[in-house]
Amino acid sequence: MRGFGRHLAEKLAAAVVSFFVTLVIGFVIFSLMPADPVRTLTRGRPTSEAQLAQLRLQLGLDDPLWQRFLSFVGDTLRGELGYSWQFQQQVSTLVAERLGPTLLLMGTSAAISVALGLWLGMRSGWKQGSVFDRITSGASLTLWSVPTFWLGMILLVAFSIPGLLPAGGMSDPSLPGTDPLDVARHLVLPCLTMVLVIFAQYVTVMRSSIIDERGAAYLLTARAKGLADADVRRRHAAPNALLPSVTMIFMHLGTLVSGAITVEAVYSWPGLGYLTYQALKIPDLPLLQGTFIIFSASVIIMNLLADLAYRFLDPRVRAQ
Amino acid sequence: MRSLLWGAGVLAAFALLALTAPLYIGDADLNVVKVTGPQLSPPVAGYPLGTDQAGRSVLLLVIWGARESLAIGLIATALTVVLGSAVGLLAGHYQGALGKALMHVTDWFIALPSLPLAISLSAVLGQGAASITVAIAVTSWTATARLVRAQTLAVEARPFIERARVLGAGNTQVMLRHVLPNVLPLILVSSTLTVASAILSEATLTFLGLGDPTSVTWGSMLQAAFSGGAVTAGAWWYLLPPGVAILIVVLGFTLTGRAVEHLLDPRRAAHA
Amino acid sequence: MLEVRDLNVSYGPAQAVRGVSFELDRGQTLGIAGESGCGKSTMALSLLRLLPDTARVAGRVLFEGEDLLTARWARLRAVRWNAASVVFQGAMSALNPVRTVGDQICEPILLHERVNAKAARRRTAELLDAVGVPARRAGDYPHEFSGGQRQRIMIAMALACRPDLIIADEPTTALDVMVQAQILRLLGDLVRESGIGVIMISHDLAVLAQMCERLAVMYAGRIVETGPARELIDDPRHPYTRALARAFPTIGDPASRLAPEGLPGDPPRIADLGDGCAFAPRCVSAEAACRTRTMELWPSGQGRAAACVRVLEGEAS
């Protein structure tokens, strides 16, 4: 286990460096690139020159670069992500509010997509070239080629116009309190949209994994023992094929983030993605910066978990 | 190769439509002030795909939108490929400090979530096609860089590179005259797939409001449909065509890319 | 116990195994010798229908009177491992890397016999002991063992359901000489104790000579000579057998070590085979008739046969 501890330390260090780079890039984009951040911030609001000057002072925009960067890093690590003029609230407050719904949507979608994708990928790869395989592969390819938000809109038109499912939001405002069943009804369409777009990735990953395993010698041993084909697939091929998939699954989870933004926008699902969409209107730079950092951090965490999970699951690697 | 023919055929058809569009689509069809069609009408005579909120023919909009959507996709891809190939070539050739540094940079960029990065860049650069194009390039170059680097390493391991160096070829010469031609087929394949994702990205970014509000692209049509209430009005004729167009073109590029990849696979040559 | 008649295996137009016939009784050991690519593994796997679907198998494989090639699928699966098991070569990839070895040995026991998990584990421990692997290591994974130990585990696994026949496909290839000797001794002891019939496949004649009573030499998909192992090596009747025997120096005979002769040329590609003796292009004593005449196994001595025209003509080596 000592080796594991050292590996963990290495990976954590790498993650920290990654996060630091994220902060640098965030700083470059949001503090350095805008020609006049103060003007962008207050776009749409009538502000006098004196107020602009005061803002500039307040935000330390005339300070030397390195000082601005350090205070930015310091603030971020303390959890102070800036102030949103659009919402008149601290960015961190907004993020905290919207985190829950996003986790709910992403969590459910991810779980369903992974389960569905892995199962379909396993069956398709096992019988490569079969009708099942071709249909699954064709569907995966088509769904990948479709813009997520468009699929969302189509589903909205198809299901909410006839009144089958709600048209957006997370819950019915007319209901007192939060009814889990009501939330569940609102969850159906956004979740379905996400699943349809992302399950394809898992199908592809698992399918090629199984195809790689199919020629393995131990499968011949399993068959020679008299096991039925389905058992050979389930008990021998699948566990081995899953291993390389695990890493990919976690890494793809990081890309779920992109889906979150578009799906939440279409369905007005009150999560981080919708917050980002709203931030684009002005554009609300501090808010955008805040969400950018949060999204990046989540991807870094996911990649870290991916690596750790793989090491934990593969007995060959575990021993080291 | 059926998929190659299908993919290439579809792309050729769209390219043709896009290029010849100015011949039969004019200001009268596109200018919201000048059009005379019924507003947000389902398909009727004269408007086979219905009209938008301003009364413009959806069919003509889709064809006209192809021009800018494809243009942005192709230009963004060109930027991506040039940037990615340059980084990949350099990283593969100079394996010392420079190469390692470049690989680190590439890895850092890969770790960044692409849509938030693209959104941030676009928002800061201001609305418009140019910022979208730049944003797409910045988020897509890493895949090409990795591919080119791996191929550069493979090519440079071959003996003929050694011979070229002995004969006195300098670094630039080796890279440009020996490595690059061998890497080009791979870049070609990767480009077709990059265009596919660039078109999807353009649509997404425009939909989110980062595009030029006055120009017509498939993404902008969908954005107009969304924010103009076409969804609540159930105007499926306005929603379907741009999305289907995107779907077909992306499939076209993807299938073509995969088919070319299959054709270039050296293992196939061995079987022949 | 096992009677193979006119076994043919082809992949499309290419014939990998042509007209192979032999017999094996209980407790007998038969060695199949030949170069890589001569079809010996293909032939062995085809007996239990373990080849991929692209292979076309024809002929008869009578196991205890039942034709395995035409048996129903469920019946074949019941015979597999239970009555006839396989020891594969390269035990690393033949064992599932993500399951414990104990698990993998228990698997066929639980599949074929009506016993509970505890009894299966007990039997697994006995088997591991019998092959010289500490039973407490049943919970370890294949990569935690050495090559020799993994081969022992393969043997233990093959014995799990007390089969009547074991097919050992290159069981000692990729093991070093000392380990090889241990494995062969182990296999020999186990087999003698339980009276199991063994078909052993190897390109190494020395190994086969040690283990097997009878030998069959294969070349380009056909059996070209059969007979008692010792006699075949000391007094080969087929030019190919002669070349093989010369290439493997006999331990203890200094003269043979001095000049191991190679065999010029390459084995023929399956697609190139036509009429006549496939060995003719590389044969020193080939005649015109060799290239056109259909080869069969003609008797060349007491319990011996060879597919060479010279045997017909009554010429000895």
The three-class DSSP label of residue B51 is strand
Find which of B62, B109, B114, B115 to mutate to test the A interface (most A CBs within 10 Å of its CB): B115
Q: How far is A119 from chain B (nearest CA, A)?
A: 25
Residues of chain B positioned with their CB less than 8 A from the CB of A151: 243
Q: C81 and A225: CB-CB below 8 Å? A: yes
Residues of chain A positioned with their CB less than 8 A from the CB of C158: none
Quick one: pLDDT at residue B135? Answer: 92
Burial class of residue B234 in the structure, from the number of CB atoms within 10 Å of its CB (0-12 exposed, 13-18 middle, 19+ buried): middle
Quick one: pLDDT at residue B255? Answer: 87
Per-10-residue mean pLDDT, chain C, length 317: 85 83 87 83 87 86 86 87 84 81 90 87 89 87 85 88 88 78 82 85 83 86 85 81 73 54 64 68 72 73 76 57
For residue C167, the 8-state DSSP code is E
CB pairs under 8 A between A and C: 69
Quick one: pLDDT at residue A317? Answer: 65
Token readout for B190 is 């990767």
Quick one: pLDDT at residue B269? Answer: 46
How confident is the prediction for chain B on average, in pLDDT?
A: 84
Q: Which residues face A83 on adjacent strands?
A: A90
- In the 3-class helix/strand/coil scheme, how is chain A assigned residue by residue? CHHHHHHHHHHHHHHHHHHHHHHHHHHHHHHHCCCCHHHHHCCCCCCCHHHHHHHHHHCCCCCCHHHHHHHHHHHHHHCCCCEECCCCEEHHHHHHHHHHHHHHHHHHHHHHHHHHHHHHHHHHHHCCCCHHHHHHHHHHHHHHCCCHHHHHHHHHHHHHCCCCCCCCCCCCCCCCCCCHHHHHHHHHHHHHHHHHHHHHHHHHHHHHHHHHHCCCHHHHHHHHCCCCHHHHHHHHHHHHHHHHHHHHHHHHHHHHHHHHHHHHHHHCCCCHHHHHHHHCCCCCHHHHHHHHHHHHHHHHHHHHHHHHHHHHHCHHHHCC
Contacts of B197 (CB under 8 A, 6+ apart): B140, B250
Residue C213 Cα to chain centre, angstroms: 13
pLDDT band at A2 (very low <50, low <70, confident <90, very high): low
Mean local confidence (pLDDT), A69-73: 81
Cα–Cα distances (Å) from C280 to A284, C219, C274, in that order, read: 85, 11, 11
Residue of B nearest to A27 (CA): B120
Residues of chain A positioned with their CB less than 8 A from the CB of C141: 315-316, 319
Mean local confidence (pLDDT), B256-261: 83
Most confident of A28-32, A43-47, B68-72, C254-258: B68-72
ipTM: 0.85
CB atoms within 10 A of CB C196: 22
Token readout for C220 is 């380009």
When computed from its CA atoms, the radius of gyration of chain C, rounded to whole angstroms, is: 20
Contact assessment for residue A260 and residue A299, using Cβ atoms and an 8 Å cutoff: no
The reply to whether B251 touches chain A by the CB within 8 Å rule is yes
Q: Among candidates B10, B2, B110, B14, which has minimal Cα distance to B64?
A: B14
**What is the C-alpha separation between B243 and C210, in angstroms, rounded?**
73
Quick one: pLDDT at residue C275? Answer: 66
* Residue from the list A226, A239, A319 with its beta carbon closest to the beta carbon of C111: A226
Q: Among candidates C148, C154, C134, C139, which has minimal Cα distance to C177?
A: C148
Quick one: pLDDT at residue A252? Answer: 76
Residues of chain A positioned with their CB less than 8 A from the CB of B115: 257-258, 261-262
Sequence letter at residue A42? T
**What is the C-alpha separation between A192 and A189, in angstroms, rounded?**
5
Mean local confidence (pLDDT), B162-168: 78
**What is the C-alpha separation between A38 and A285, in angstroms, rounded?**
10
**Residue corresponding to tokens 């380009």:** C220
For residue C141, the 8-state DSSP code is -
Most confident of A132-146, A245-259, B257-271: A132-146
Q: Which long-range contacts (CB under 8 A, 24 or more apart) does C34-40 make?
A: C34/C203, C34/C217, C34/C218, C34/C219, C34/C244, C35/C203, C35/C219, C35/C267, C36/C203, C36/C267, C37/C267, C38/C218, C38/C219, C38/C220, C38/C221, C38/C267, C39/C9, C39/C218, C39/C220, C39/C221, C40/C201, C40/C218
Quick one: pLDDT at residue B271? Answer: 42
Residues A267-304 have pLDDT tens digits of 988 889 999 998 888 778 888 888 898 888 888 888 88
The reply to whether C145 touches chain A by the CB within 8 Å rule is no
Quick one: pLDDT at residue B270? Answer: 44
Quick one: pLDDT at residue C54? Answer: 84
Q: C77 and A243: CB-CB below 8 Å? A: no
Token readout for A16 is 């920290």
Q: Which residues face C215 on adjacent strands?
A: C31, C227
Contact assessment for residue C263 and residue C242, using Cβ atoms and an 8 Å cutoff: no
Q: How far is A249 from chain C (nearest CA, A)?
A: 19
Q: A296 and B251: CB-CB below 8 Å? A: no
Asked whether the predicted pLDDT for residue A164 surpasses 70, the reply is yes
Asked whether the predicted pLDDT for residue B198 surpasses 90, the reply is yes
Q: B111 and A25: CB-CB below 8 Å? A: no
Asked whether the predicted pLDDT for residue B165 surpasses 80, the reply is no
Higher pLDDT, A315 or C138: C138
* Residue from the list B111, B123, B204 with its beta carbon closest to the beta carbon of A300: B111
Contacts of A4 (CB under 8 A, 6+ apart): A311, A318
Q: A226 and C94: CB-CB below 8 Å? A: no
Phi, psi of C96 (to 5 degrees): -65, 120
Quick one: pLDDT at residue B246? Answer: 93
Contact assessment for residue A224 and residue C80, using Cβ atoms and an 8 Å cutoff: yes
pLDDT band at A140 (very low <50, low <70, confident <90, very high): confident
Q: C78 and A226: CB-CB below 8 Å? A: yes
Give the H/E segment covering residue C63: strand C55-63
Residue of C nearest to A314 (CA): C98
Token readout for C231 is 């006699």
Find which of B105, B110, B120 to mutate to test the A interface (most A CBs within 10 Å of its CB): B120
Quick one: pLDDT at residue B202? Answer: 93
Sequence letter at residue A53? A
Mean local confidence (pLDDT), A306-313: 76
Asked whether the predicted pLDDT for residue B125 surpasses 50, the reply is yes
pTM summary value: 0.76
**Residue corresponding to tokens 């779980």:** A111
CA angle C31, C37, C42 (to 5 degrees): 65
**Residue corresponding to tokens 């650069």:** B125
Quick one: pLDDT at residue C317? Answer: 43
Token readout for A229 is 């084909």
Give the H/E segment covering residue C111: helix C101-112
Asked whether the predicted pLDDT for residue A5 surpasses 90, the reply is no
Q: A243 and C111: CB-CB below 8 Å? A: no
Quick one: pLDDT at residue A9? Answer: 85
**What is the C-alpha separation between C52 and C166, in angstroms, rounded?**
21
Q: C81 and A224: CB-CB below 8 Å? A: yes
Using CA atoms in the order A291, A294, A300, A302, what is the torsion angle rounded to 10 degrees? -100
